Amino acid sequence: MLTDEIWDPFTDALDHEPINKYLGVSLGTLRVSGAQRRRGAEILKRRKIAAFVVTDDRLIRGIATAVGWLGANTKAYPLQDLPTVIESLHAEPRVHLQAMAAFEELSAQLGEFPRLQPTFSAH
């Protein structure tokens, strides 16, 4: 279970940073309590932040779907869809490449995840 010491700064940032989209990528299982999930959902809903959750963990995708039932704009995708999801955020190509590079670095450190290819040309 994720502790409040970790969760609270995350939700505080979600509540106060000038964002309208959030991309969360999980390379494994992440457990949050019902209260933590409700707080995150309330912030997403109140601030009208679109959340995109990318993971191969079915439980996490189910939680993202349940957060949507609480009124937040959340969508969940399998890990293989990460390049397409990043592209759908309409970020600059530089941001797309940075996000993919960060994912590649993490997955290389963990040694468990396939190499994913960007879905666009950065030229």
In contact, 27 and 110? CB cutoff 8 Å: yes
Phi, psi of 17 (to 5 degrees): -75, 150
| 36 pLDDT higher than 90 | yes
| Structural domain containing residue 17 | 4-81
Please tell me the pTM assigned to this model.
0.84
33 domain-assigned = yes
Instruction: Find the mean pLDDT for residues 3-20.
Output: 96
Can you read off the two tokens belonging to residue 86? 């990043």
- What Rg value do the Cα atoms of the chain yield, rounded? 15
86 domain-assigned = no
Question: In the predicted model, what is the mean pLDDT of the chain?
Answer: 88
- Percentage of the chain modeled with pLDDT above 90: 56
Domain count, the chain: 1
Neighbours of 100 (CB within 10 A): 18
74-95 residue pLDDT tens:
999 999 999 999 989 988 889 8
pLDDT of residue 70: 84
40-79 residue pLDDT tens:
999 999 999 999 999 999 999 998 998 898 889 999 999 9
CATH number at 31 reads 3.40.50
Neighbours of 57 (CB within 10 A): 17
4 contact partners, CB below 8 Å, separation of at least 6: 36
14 domain-assigned = yes
